[in-house]
Amino acid sequence: MTRLALIGAFVALAACGADGPPMTPNANVGLSLGTGGLSTSASVGASNGMFSVGLGL
């Protein structure tokens, strides 16, 4: 629980811009239909122009 609170505090600090330019969140969801069937994709992340971090599923 403490680790989750620490990560949340770091994200909030980065999002407000107190330590530099604010991070801009982004998300993407994809749906594709092909010969192999239906496939989905999703990604979430944040960037401030110079630095970006993300997670794709």
Name the residue ranges covered by the structural domains of the chain.
Answer: 2-47
Confidence at 20, pLDDT banded by 50, 70, 90: low
Q: Are 25 and 45 in contact (CB under 8 A)?
A: yes
Q: How far apart are CA 21 and CA 8, in angstroms?
A: 18
Q: What is the mean pLDDT of residues 36-44?
A: 92
Determine what percent of the chain is predicted with pLDDT higher than 70: 82
Mean pLDDT, rounded, of the chain: 82
Query: How many C-beta atoms lie closer than 10 Å to residue 46's C-beta?
Result: 17
